[in-house]
């Protein structure tokens, strides 16, 4: 990835926001003459969105030299976004990341783990329709994200964490998943309350927002990508399970189990799990249900997994579990430390 972000200049104002455009629908507008969709000029965003001129914010912007579809987003690009925030962290009061919605929850969850001791807002947003279209949700999403990124109480950022804003709702990023491909309200947070709701005013649920710790930002850039997601279903065959678990170089697996963490009790399945764990592969169990949690040992169908060394992911989302696994494996923790840390809420990603 190459981008212009590291060369962007700060213009001093009361509140300064850096907009990072990675790609996605929100960055397109319709050319009035040709009717074609063309990239928005974020360098002149205040001119294109006059409503922003009423706020005393300095809004700088930068973008990937080649904006990418969110389907092509990957951990290499996550590190690129983290580097930008690290380089510009002291210069800005908040950050808005414009991103395609399809993989936004993955990227935003990953950034929540990579940015340790984050004390400023990093607001991810996007849109279902290009910003320049008449009924686009992009304009409102963008404006509200800027306001949230600049919101302070007693000169302290009000939302000092990685969040997703979409269609009037603000969510903790690592609690969020995309659930609708057509509705403007594209995201949900099944196991954690929303952080704010935008109506006539933006109403914040401050009791659910993480508090700043005022420690120095630490940016983790090492991510282990040799991981897999194993989705269980009735009738799953040994060949498929073993093909996943015996993948060369595999370091970790997020296993999407039934209900409260249940899985087949067939001997072949349990033997496959035990062999993988014995080879040092970290396996985490998450629920296929969008709400609720994994409770290892609650039913007989999950007890043997617990005995085999499968880690229970509690109420973490699949997106967040995958990102957390990459982060922890990237830091090369041993089995016991990995298990303990995965079962611990590090960035508010799971219930205690």
Would you please indicate which residues are annotated as catalytic (active-site) residues?
25
**Residues, the chain, total?**
352
63 sits in which H/E element: strand 57-63
Burial class (CB in 10 A: 0-12, 13-18, 19+), 223: buried
- Half-sphere exposure at residue 224, Cβ-oriented, CA atoms within 13 angstroms: 21
Name the pairing type of β-strands 227-231 and 15-21.
unpaired
DSSP secondary structure of 126-182? --SS-TTSTT-SHHHHHHHHHHHHH-EETTEES--SEEEEETTEEEEGGG-EE--SS
Compute the distance between CA of residue 214 and CA of residue 322 in angstroms, rounded to an integer: 28
């Amino acid at each position: 990835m190459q981008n212009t972000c590291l060369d962007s200049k700060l213009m001093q104002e009361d509140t300064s926001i850096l907009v990072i455009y990675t790609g996605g629908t929100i960055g397109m507008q319709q050319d009035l003459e040709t009717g074609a969709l063309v990239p928005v000029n974020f360098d002149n965003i205040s001119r294109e969105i006059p409503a922003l001129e009423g706020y005393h914010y300095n809004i700088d912007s930068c973008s990937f030299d080649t904006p990418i579809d969110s389907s092509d987003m990957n951990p290499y690009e996550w590190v690129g976004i983290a580097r930008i925030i690290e380089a510009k962290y002291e210069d800005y009061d908040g950050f808005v990341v414009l991103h395609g919605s399809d993989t936004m929850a993955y990227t935003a969850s990953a950034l929540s783990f990579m940015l340790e001791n984050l004390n400023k807002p990093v607001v991810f947003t996007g849109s279902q329709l290009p910003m320049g279209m008449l009924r686009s949700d992009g304009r409102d999403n963008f404006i509200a994200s800027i306001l949230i990124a600049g919101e302070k109480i007693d000169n302290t950022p009000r939302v000092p964490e990685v969040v997703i804003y979409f269609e009037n709702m603000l969510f903790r990023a690592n609690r969020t998943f995309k659930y609708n491909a057509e509705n403007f309200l594209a995201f949900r947070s099944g196991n954690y309350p929303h952080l704010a709701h935008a109506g006539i005013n933006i109403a914040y649920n401050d009791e659910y927002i993480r508090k700043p710790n005022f420690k120095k930002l630490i940016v983790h850039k090492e991510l282990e990508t040799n991981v897999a997601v194993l989705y269980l279903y009735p009738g799953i065959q040994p060949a498929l399970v073993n093909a996943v678990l015996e993948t060369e170089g595999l370091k970790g697996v997020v296993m999407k189990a039934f209900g409260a963490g249940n899985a087949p009790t067939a001997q072949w399945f349990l033997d496959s799990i035990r062999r993988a764990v014995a080879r040092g592969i970290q396996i985490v169990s998450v629920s296929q249900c969008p709400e609720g949690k994994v409770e290892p040992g609650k039913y007989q169908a999950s007890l043997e997994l617990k005995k085999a060394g499968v880690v229970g992911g509690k109420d973490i989302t699949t997106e967040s579990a995958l990102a957390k696994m990459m982060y922890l494996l990237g830091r090369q923790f041993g089995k016991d430390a990995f298990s303990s840390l995965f079962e611990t809420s590090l960035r508010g990603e799971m219930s205690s």
